[in-house]
Amino acid sequence: MRELIGHELYKIFRQKSIYLMSLFLLAIIVFFLLQMRGPSLNFLYQKWEGPVSSQDIEKAIKEDKIIINKQEQGIDITWEELKLRNVYSDINDIGRYKTIQEEKLKVLNGKISKFENDGDLGYQYRKLKLEKEMLKDVKFSTLYYQRPAEQMNEYLNTFGLIFVGALIIFGLSSIFTREYTTGVDNYMLSSINGRKKIVHAKIIASLIFVAVVTLISVIFDLMFWNIMDGNDGWHADIHSIEKYWDSPYSFTLLSYFFIQVAYQLFAGFAFTLFVLFISAISKNSLVSFIICSFVFAFPLAVETFIPYDMQWFFNILKFTYTEIMLVDVLFKDFFTINVFGYPILLPIFVIGFLVAISIIVVILLYRVIANKQVPS
């Protein structure tokens, strides 16, 4: 079995296309990241880092107004003063979030009381109670210079997603079809090792390939931002990024980074099994490549071109391979699935969903190979 896995790994990694695609993608990624890097502002944040009090917020607002007044009066301000406005804005955001959180809890308490008074303690009541308990655990009250950690997290949702997804498609969409086109399927389907063992080997080798690609992506991400802007901000709360203000999850950027990597890898494995299945039922590598590319790119295209009022459609997209690999879709807000009257958090539900879908895909994959006729 080890020899079979080693042979399948060799066939995957000897493909020149994956190296050419890797270099092309990394060159594009580096180009765009260099446009985003900017100078480090760590020295401006050092004076303000730590727990933010109401006095700190008042002082930041006051000093920010001084700079604004200078601009309005046509007085030139220094680069440092301009960038200090970023610091003051982040401090003010902590105060704004606290106000928003208190209002959310107040609204939730009102809704919960109404359900209790009506005696309706079903799914909606349990959902509100869960959201309240989770929201109470969020403690966004400390300022950090978080740009490096924030960018390392954001990479996974953008360039990292594209890098891993593209290499899965380029490296694996022809894993079975190239056997058909080269005539190796004659050996594969009549091998003394058995069809199941060969499929086992291809699956294991493919998953190893995806793990290696994901590891390369993560190492590149960490190295780039460490070189460009240091290694600060890991202890910052995810709510320091405004798109997570509706999130009930109390993660630091460090814990969230590991969660993102784990989910992206897990979803990448699930997508890989789907790619193998498509490759197994396709006799043409181009057809397999097009189908896999469409499945991967469709959710991204929909988010770009479909009107935002189609919320029901976006909810369905949350269960696609691509959206789960994005990860932030799962954690940006409070979203639950009704399972027998009990709310199951979306990030938990999608794990079971992917496992179920993957089991079905693997069963179908083995059946397809088992039912194939040896070419005459």
**DSSP symbol at 252:** B
Mark the ranges of the chain whose per-residue pLDDT is less than 70.
179-194, 306-309, 372-376
| Rg of the chain on CA atoms, in Å | 25
Burial 58-96 (b: 16+ CB within 10 A, else e): eebeebbeebeeeeeeeeeeeeebeebbebbebbbbbbe
Tell me which amino acid residue 102 is. E
Which pLDDT value is given to residue 192?
Answer: 46
pTM: predicted TM-score of the whole model, two decimal places: 0.89
User: In whole angstroms, what separates CA 104 from the centre of its chain?
Assistant: 26
Tokens of 26: 């990394």
Which pLDDT value is given to residue 267?
Answer: 96
pLDDT tens figures, 114-140: 988 888 788 999 999 999 999 998 989
- In 3D space, the residue among 172, 310, 166, 149 whose CA is nearest the CA of residue 229 turns out to be 149
- Phi first, then psi: give them for residue 330, nearest 5 degrees: -75, -25
From residue 32, how far is each of 24, 28, 142, 204 by CA, in Å? 13, 6, 30, 34
Strands 336-339 and 142-143, by their bridges, are: unpaired
pLDDT tens figures, 226-264: 998 889 999 999 999 989 999 999 999 999 999 999 999
Give, for 143, the enclosing helix (H) or strand (E): strand 142-143
Which pLDDT value is given to residue 330?
Answer: 93
Distance between CA atoms of 253 and 50, rounded to whole angstroms?
16
Question: CB-based contacts of 315: which residues, under 8 Å, 6+ apart?
Answer: 335
Helix (H, G, I), strand (E, B) or coil at 51: strand
**DSSP symbol at 237:** B
Distance between CA atoms of 363 and 21, rounded to whole angstroms?
31
Whether 160 and 217 have beta carbons less than 8 Å apart is answered as: yes
From residue 232, how far is each of 37, 46, 171, 202, 253 by CA, in Å? 14, 11, 35, 41, 10
Helix (H, G, I), strand (E, B) or coil at 176: coil
Give, for 206, the enclosing helix (H) or strand (E): helix 195-229
- Tell me which residue has tokens 């083995």: 366
- Phi first, then psi: give them for residue 344, nearest 5 degrees: -110, 125
How would you class 126 by CB atoms within 10 Å of its CB: exposed for 0-12, middle for 13-18, buried for 19 or more? middle
Which pLDDT value is given to residue 117?
Answer: 84
- Phi first, then psi: give them for residue 39, nearest 5 degrees: -75, 155
Distance between CA atoms of 345 and 148, rounded to whole angstroms?
29
**DSSP symbol at 64:** H
